């Protein structure tokens, strides 16, 4: 089974006797490192309780489309934005018919209509229902719409019949479902990513920094790892655990980050400068804590300009594909294009940090990808999804260069 670690999986459970196996699917998904949320149809609740799946997944189970509490935040849209993939297991004949016709009259079907990622169904029904021409026509429609079909298997069924229609075992379903994710686009490539803020000391207890949380950079690391890349992460101080399967380098100051980048840059295929590196640092840090002198006079702090890491990388003779970020509060596109040109970048990613919904510390982002020849908007969604789309964009350009 391909790794499902760090993926957000929405499990749809519909009303068939095989619904009891959904608990084991949740358990396997959690064990693999995925985050799981469950949507149940009304009939599914006759076979397994929401409380069981809530306890196993660690998240509230959603059951109603018109849930006043959830819909205050457009719950079905939020679920669609959250998920990286949707698995419906079991998928009854009725569910398959409704999905194939594009109906959106319950929560599960509505979420699938609002979702733009991989969807797989694990059919589970009586062998006669499986063989029925209408069921087969509905399945063909789903296949034509790029749904993944996991099964069914053959064997003894709850009604006593024997034949095709039995839901596959959970581990077999997940083996097939995991293949639906587009991985390996950067297989074997070496990527260096910087993330987080830097801290420029004024004295032993004070420093200059910024509001960068590191969330965007760390999300890019996860997306790059999922695409098969070998990733080195150079990070300033953040409250995020680095992925265990990357080469992690911890720094504090802009000077330390510069030295770390220059040390590790050789042989890299891609450099992504996500870190919010301080442009300036105190010209001289005090060796002891600066005390008030009681005069109420203003304190004068002399600053020096730090080395431009992004520009230094782009000026290397053997340079990688260089990606920068433009965190702007005004004239977003104009300022980003200027930075793209001045620093000789291959790609710049512009985001408006004046918008609190997508700025520093937010879980969401909206960015515009800008090269010399194109502009591509990635509309607001969580940073994990934005990161996946950025990595897909980069991998496309890298692969085009190699062809």
Q: Residues with Cβ < 8 Å from 47, sequence gap 6 or more?
A: 15, 16, 17, 19, 20
CA–CA separation, 18 vs 38, rounded Å?
Answer: 16
CA–CA separation, 55 vs 392, rounded Å?
Answer: 35
Q: Which two tokens stand for residue 93?
A: 């004949």
Residue 205 neighbours by CB distance under 10 Å = 10
CA–CA separation, 98 vs 139, rounded Å?
Answer: 11
DSSP state letter for 239:
S
Q: List, as one string, the DSSP characters of 205-224.
A: TEEE-----SHHHHHHHHHH
Contact 37, 82 (CB under 8 A): yes
Instruction: Write down the catalytic residue from 74, 113, 158, 159.
Output: 159
Query: How many residues are given for the chain?
Result: 403
CA–CA separation, 142 vs 127, rounded Å?
Answer: 19
Which secondary-structure segment (H or E) carries 348?
A: strand 347-352
The residue written with tokens 């599914």 in the block is 44
- 246 is a catalytic site residue: no
CA–CA separation, 88 vs 79, rounded Å?
Answer: 14
- For residues 324-350, one letter each, b for 16 or more C-beta atoms within 10 angstroms of the residue's C-beta and e for the rest, the string is bbbbbeeebeebbbebbeebebbbbbb
Contact 204, 369 (CB under 8 A): no
Contact 89, 12 (CB under 8 A): yes
HEC letters along 37-71: EEEECCHHHHCCCHHHHHHHHCCCCECCCCCHHHH
Q: Catalytic residues, which ones? A: 159
């Amino acid at each position: 089974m391909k790794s499902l670690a760090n993926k957000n999986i929405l499990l749809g459970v519909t009303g068939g006797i095989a619904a009891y196996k959904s608990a084991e699917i949740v358990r396997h998904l959690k064990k693999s490192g995925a985050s799981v949320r469950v949507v149940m149809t009304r009939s599914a609740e006759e076979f397994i309780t929401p409380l069981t799946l809530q306890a196993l997944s660690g998240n509230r189970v959603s059951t109603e489309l018109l849930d006043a509490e959830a819909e205050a935040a457009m719950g079905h849209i939020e679920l669609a934005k959250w998920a990286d993939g949707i698995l419906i297991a079991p998928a009854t004949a009725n569910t398959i018919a409704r999905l194939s016709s594009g109906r959106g009259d319950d929560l599960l079907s509505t979420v699938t209509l609002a979702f733009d990622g991989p969807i797989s169904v694990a059919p589970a029904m009586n062998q006669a229902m499986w063989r029925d021409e209408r069921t087969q026509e509905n399945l063909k429609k789903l296949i034509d719409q790029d749904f993944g079909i996991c099964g069914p298997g053959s064997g003894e069924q709850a009604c006593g019949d024997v034949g095709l229609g039995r839901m596959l075992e959970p581990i077999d379903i997940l083996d097939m479902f995991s293949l639906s994710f587009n991985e390996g686009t950067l297989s074997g490539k070496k990527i260096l990513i910087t993330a987080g803020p830097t801290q420029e000391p004024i004295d032993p207890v004070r420093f200059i920094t910024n509001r960068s949380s590191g969330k965007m950079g760390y999300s890019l690391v996860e997306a790059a790892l999922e695409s098969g890349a070998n990733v080195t992460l150079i990070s300033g101080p953040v409250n995020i655990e680095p992925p265990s399967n990357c080469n992690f380098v911890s720094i504090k100051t802009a000077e330390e980050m510069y030295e770390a980048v220059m040390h590790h840059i050789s042989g890299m295929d891609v450099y992504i400068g996500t870190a919010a590196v301080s442009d300036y640092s105190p010209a001289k840090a005090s060796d002891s804590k600066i005390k008030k002198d009681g005069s109420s006079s203003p304190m004068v702090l002399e600053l020096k300009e730090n080395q431009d890491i992004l520009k230094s990388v782009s000026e290397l003779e053997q340079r990688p594909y260089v990606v920068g970020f433009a965190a702007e509060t005004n004239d977003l596109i104009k300022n980003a294009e200027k930075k793209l040109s001045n620093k000789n970048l291959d790609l710049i990613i512009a985001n408006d940090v004046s918008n609190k919904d997508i700025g520093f510390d937010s879980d969401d982002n909206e960015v515009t990808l800008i090269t010399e020849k194109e502009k591509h908007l990635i509309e607001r969604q969580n940073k994990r999804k934005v990161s996946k789309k950025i990595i897909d964009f980069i991998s496309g350009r890298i692969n085009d260069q190699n062809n």
